[in-house]
Structure 1
Amino acid sequence: MKGRTIVLDHIQGREAAALMVDGKLDDLLIAADAPAPGTIYRARADRPVKGQGGMFLTTPDGPAFLRQVKGLAPGASLLVQVGGYAEPGKAIPVTNRILFKSRFAIVTPDAPGLNISRSIKDDDKRDQLLEIAHEQMGDSPYGLILRSCCMDADAGDIADDISAMLAQAEQVMTDEGSDVELLIEGDSPHILAWRDWTDPAEVVTKTGSFETHGVLDALDVARGVSEPLPGGGYLYIEPTRALVAVDVNTGADTSLAAGTKANFACAKALPRALRVRGLAGQITLDLAPMPKKDRRGFESALRAAFKSDPDETILAGWTPLGHFELQRKRSRLPVAEVLK
């Protein structure tokens, strides 16, 4: 099946959204029991962590950890936002730089100014968007970012989105309460799909669509350790408590260039393979044998592949043993943990 299809359904009683591209699972969002990224709390400072410049906080959903905080005394009340999922047994990672994000607009209370996505090059369109932004934001001290999908969007829809996000920001940021409280829940998978999967696509909402559109079959692959590569090779992706190990296998190809071909295929396929499995943290690639002169090309291919990936990934580089390491933000939970 050619083209993009967004499938909204439920699996094991959990809300879920799948993005199918040319019949292949490209992204997957599943509701988890843990607080979703984007959740906003009024929290209370608990105790500082000496030497790390952080503070443990009390929230309605358990302990949270705020990094690089200064001048915050235990007992103080503050607003924080969940930035990702915690590792098992650890506190919820939060930030005090709060964003109010929707499909077209992001309101930034701590960063004033009106900004438009750099991917929008048309000067007339940029002028039109600035006009809409000025009209909706008025004399608000908050900042605004208009996302790239504004390029082809209706002006009225953009204005409504800015207005809604500004109203939400004003309501939260002017909150005068002092008790520990959940103020805004993070977006559900269906809302996230509407917010972030903005390229043209067919949207399917009928119950049972995961089965009829091949999502369940794709999930069987995603819950396993093997990921086929073009050319007959394989990735073996195995999460451990410390890291995610990725082994590149050339398969039946025994030519001299087999290792190089498999590694470059790995570079292209790896972002999607990690994304649909929900894997993050420290990632170590055990690559197939290839000449050292091809390492720079492999790094460029890997960097290009992760450029369009929504989850922040740092390419850490090569180890003395010839492995390649990455660090990936935990913006989702592993599918194997959510779906037992």
Structure 2
Amino acid sequence: MKGRTIILDEWKGRDAAALIVDGKLEDFLIDSDQPAPGTIYRARADRPVKGQGGMFVTTPDGPAFLRQIKGLSPGSMLLVQVTGYPEPGKAIPVTSKLLFKSRYAIVTPDAPGINVSRSIRGEDTRNALLEIAHDVMAHSNHGLILRSACDGGEPEEIAEDIAAMSALATQVLSDDGDEVETLVEGDGAHTLAWREWSDPAEVLSQPGGFEELGIEDDLEAVGQAFEPLSGGGHLYIEPTRALVSVDVNTGADTSLAAGLKANMACARALPRALRLRGLGGQITLDLAPMPKKDRRSFETALRAAFKTDSEDTVLAGWTPLGHYELQRKRGRLPFHEVS
């Protein structure tokens, strides 16, 4: 199967979406019982946590934790947005800096100005998009980011998308309620697939698509700790309460360069492996043995691999024991929590 295919179906009774690229499962989204990132609440400030520089706030879905609380006092009403999935037993992470995100546009009330994605390089295209944006946003004080999906998009659809997000932002920000309430629901798996997988693709939405195309077998493999690497090596990816452990093994290769080859294969495969498993937070790589002089090559490969990944990942660097650490946004529901 060549090209890109998006399959919209159900898995384990939940709406789910799979992205197949050249016959290989590249991404997977599934609905959750937890509030989805992007959900916006009218919340009530509860109690500050001075040692952590934040405050617990009350939402319809339970307690949430907000950082950067300067000027906020207990009992105040405020608007907050879910930024990711919480760790087990912890509060929902939220921010007071709201974003209104769709396929073509991101409206940014706290950051005025109109910007176009850097990936859109054609000067004529950028100018045409700016003209559309300025026309639609002429009477708005909100900021706007035009996403990479605008490149090749229909002008009418882009304009409608901008107008819809701007109107939603205005509606939410004008809220003056005095009770805790959910104002905007975060996107489900099918809507998120439409929003984020914007490159041209065949879309299959008939029931049973996962079974017909063998996606269920791929998902069974994703549920395992074992992840094969090109060249014969493999990874063991195991989430713990504190962090995600990634163990790199060379397999049957006993050559002098076996460690470097396995680590480079790990760098290329890791974004997909973490993305499919929905893993984030602190990630520690226990790499195969390799000379210190090869560390820079490994870091370069790792940085290139994560550059186009959908979740924000910080490459923290090396530990004294020779492990490599990353910090990754918890923007996905962990696969093991639904499988």
State the TM bucket, normalised to the shorter chain. over 0.9
How many residues of Structure 1 are paired with residues of Structure 2 in the alignment? 339
Q: Which amino acid in structure 2 is aligned with residue 124 of structure 1? A: D
Aligned to 1:51: 51
Offset of residue 59 of structure 1: 0.3
SS in 1 for 2:135: helix
Q: String of CA shifts for 1:278-333, please: whole Å, max 9, x gaps.
A: 11111111111111100000001001100100101111111111111111110012
- Establish whether residue 239 from structure 1 lines up as the match of residue 239 from structure 2: yes
Q: String of CA shifts for 1:101-159, please: whole Å, max 9, x gaps.
A: 00001111111111111111111111111110111111211011101111101100100
Offset of residue 51 of structure 1: 2.4
- Establish whether residue 324 from structure 1 lines up as the match of residue 308 from structure 2: no
Q: String of CA shifts for 1:146-205, please: whole Å, max 9, x gaps.
A: 011111011001001011111111111111111100001000000000000011111110
SS in 1 for 2:64: strand
Aligned to 2:98: 98
SS in 2 for 1:238: strand
Q: Which amino acid in structure 1 is aligned with residue 176 of structure 2? A: E
SS in 2 for 1:253: coil
CA distance in 2, matches of 1:199, 1:212: 23
Q: Which amino acid in structure 2 is aligned with residue 15 of structure 1? A: D
The unaligned stretches of length 5 or more in structure 1 are none
Q: Which amino acid in structure 1 is aligned with residue 122 of structure 2? A: D
Aligned to 1:15: 15
SS in 1 for 2:7: strand
CA distance in 1, matches of 2:68, 2:161: 32
CA distance in 2, matches of 1:206, 1:145: 34
Aligned to 2:298: 298
Aligned to 1:109: 109
Contact 1:238–1:246 (CA<8 Å) still a contact in 2? yes
Contact 1:52–1:68 (CA<8 Å) still a contact in 2? no
Offset of residue 270 of structure 1: 0.3
SS in 2 for 1:158: helix
CA distance in 2, matches of 1:167, 1:152: 24
CA distance in 1, matches of 2:161, 2:46: 36
Contact 1:39–1:82 (CA<8 Å) still a contact in 2? yes
Offset of residue 3 of structure 1: 1.2
Offset of residue 48 of structure 1: 0.5
CA distance in 2, matches of 1:188, 1:252: 42
Aligned to 2:215: 215
Q: Which amino acid in structure 1 is aligned with residue 281 of structure 2? A: G
SS in 2 for 1:51: helix
Q: String of CA shifts for 1:210-251, please: whole Å, max 9, x gaps.
A: 111121111011000111101111111111111111111111
SS in 1 for 2:141: coil
Aligned to 1:270: 270
Contact 1:53–1:70 (CA<8 Å) still a contact in 2? no
Aligned to 1:86: 86
Q: CA RMSD in A?
A: 0.8
SS in 1 for 2:238: strand
Offset of residue 69 of structure 1: 1.2
Q: How does 1:105-144 map to 2 (within 5 A)?
A: 105-144=105-144
Q: Which amino acid in structure 1 is aligned with residue 43 of structure 2? A: A
User: TM-score if structure 1 supplies the norm length?
Assistant: 0.98
Q: Which amino acid in structure 1 is aligned with residue 108 of structure 2? A: T
CA distance in 1, matches of 2:265, 2:45: 47
CA distance in 1, matches of 2:54, 2:249: 42
CA distance in 1, matches of 2:234, 2:273: 11
User: TM-score if structure 2 supplies the norm length?
Assistant: 0.99
Aligned to 1:26: 26
CA distance in 1, matches of 2:43, 2:228: 45
